[in-house]
């Protein structure tokens, strides 16, 4: 049970009176997406689930026009019925389907700009085709983004939150606490901080390498405790701090290894907005994790 106001986060507050826009591919991963959304929004209040499928057009570069392809009416009707059936039992949730023609990324971004849109949702296929769209949405969308792989399990028993001591990771941690409170109060939350040792080889040091490692780890432990105390207060007792020494290239591998070893089934990551500078800063960790991830639902939270 949360002992503070951490249950009240911007994302969950906006969902109560707003909508989640779901990019729909009308293919295999959408079955998994419907099951997962039913699992999430069976516990997390939302006013509207707007499913959007963009029929890609044929792009004629010479005229700079897009000629839309036609949608099979039988497929569309079946999808409307499936969506209605999936969410009929969720009281107060208005689930709608909208089909448009055009460029998928542009059409989804236009929908996400509406003030009532609280978050975006997109599926992810094993063949990687939707991974590109997910990464582009992560870079350009202002709102939070939930990416659901087709192999995702509809469970939330262990939540991983990468921590870099930024305001963005603090918001991700508060969101993880709030989601756990609503969906599974017994779930674990691991706040994972990956750090590296400074290169002191050019300098003379009064400590041995092992002493330096211990000193750096002690400093990171103190920084983590201070961060948890300042950002979530008394709720820090519900979070497991994890420190991992980063001594090989690529932070993503450490996140993936920890997730597999500890049976993580949900990830919440902090991300920046989409100014030119922030586009550069988003990249490495969040984007690489989305690119390499195969089965973990990932929620990118933006301040």
Give domain limits for the chain. 5-149, 158-296
- Residue 153: both structure tokens together: 């399990």
What is the model's pTM? 0.87
Confidence band of 125 (pLDDT split at 50, 70, 90) = confident
- The C-alpha atoms of residue 284 and residue 106 are separated, in whole angstroms, by 24
The third-level CATH classification (topology) of the domain covering 158-296 is: Rossmann fold (3.40.50)
* Sheet order of strands, 48-56 included: 94-102, 48-56, 19-23, 117-124, 145-149, 298-302, 266-271, 158-162, 188-195, 240-245
Pairing assessment for the beta strands 48-56 and 19-23 based on DSSP bridges: parallel
The pLDDT value recorded for residue 129 is: 55
Query: Does residue 59 have a pLDDT over 70?
Result: no
Query: Does residue 248 have a pLDDT over 80?
Result: no
* Spatial CB neighbours of 300, under 8 Å, sequence gap ≥ 6: 138, 144, 145, 146, 147, 269, 270, 271, 286
* Spatial CB neighbours of 85, under 8 Å, sequence gap ≥ 6: none
**pLDDT tens readout for residues 148-179:** 998 899 999 999 999 999 899 999 999 999 99
- Residue 301: both structure tokens together: 């939270």
The CATH number corresponding to 5-149 among 1.10.510.10, 3.40.50.620, 3.40.50.150, 3.30.300.20 equals 3.40.50.620
Query: Does residue 72 have a pLDDT over 70?
Result: no
- The C-alpha atoms of residue 275 and residue 63 are separated, in whole angstroms, by 31
Q: Sign of the CA dihedral 174, 176, 179, 184?
A: negative
- The C-alpha atoms of residue 262 and residue 150 are separated, in whole angstroms, by 21
């Amino acid at each position: 049970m949360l002992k503070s106001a951490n249950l009240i986060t911007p994302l969950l507050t906006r969902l109560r009176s707003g909508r989640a826009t779901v990019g729909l591919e009308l293919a295999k991963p959408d079955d998994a997406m419907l099951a997962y959304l039913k699992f999430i929004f069976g516990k997390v209040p939302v006013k509207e689930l707007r499913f959007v499928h963009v029929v890609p057009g044929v792009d004629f570069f010479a005229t700079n026009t897009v000629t839309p392809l036609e949608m099979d009416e039988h497929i569309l009707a079946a999808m409307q019925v499936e969506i209605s059936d999936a969410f009929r039992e969720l009281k107060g949730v208005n689930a709608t389907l909208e089909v448009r023609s055009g460029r998928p990324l542009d059409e989804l971004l236009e929908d996400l700009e509406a003030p009532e849109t609280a978050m975006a949702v997109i599926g992810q296929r094993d063949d990687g085709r939707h991974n590109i769209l997910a990464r582009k949405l992560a870079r350009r969308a202002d709102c939070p983004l939930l990416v659901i792989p087709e192999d995702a399990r509809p469970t939330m028993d262990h939540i991983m939150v990468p921590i870099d001591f930024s305001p963005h990771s603090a918001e991700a941690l508060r969101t993880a606490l709030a989601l756990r409170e609503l969906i599974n109060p017994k779930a674990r939350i691991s706040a994972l901080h990956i750090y590296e040792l400074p290169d002191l080889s050019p300098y003379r040091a009064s400590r041995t390498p092992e002493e330096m490692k211990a000193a750096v780890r002690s400093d990171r432990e103190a920084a983590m405790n201070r961060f948890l105390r300042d950002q979530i207060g008394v709720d820090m007792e519900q979070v497991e701090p994890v420190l991992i020494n980063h001594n090989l290239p690529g932070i993503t591998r450490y996140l993936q290894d920890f997730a597999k070893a500890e049976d993580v089934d949900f990830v919440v990551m902090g991300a920046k907005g989409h100014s030119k500078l922030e586009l550069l800063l988003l990249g490495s960790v969040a984007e690489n994790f989305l690119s390499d991830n195969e089965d973990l639902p990932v929620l990118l939270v933006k301040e």
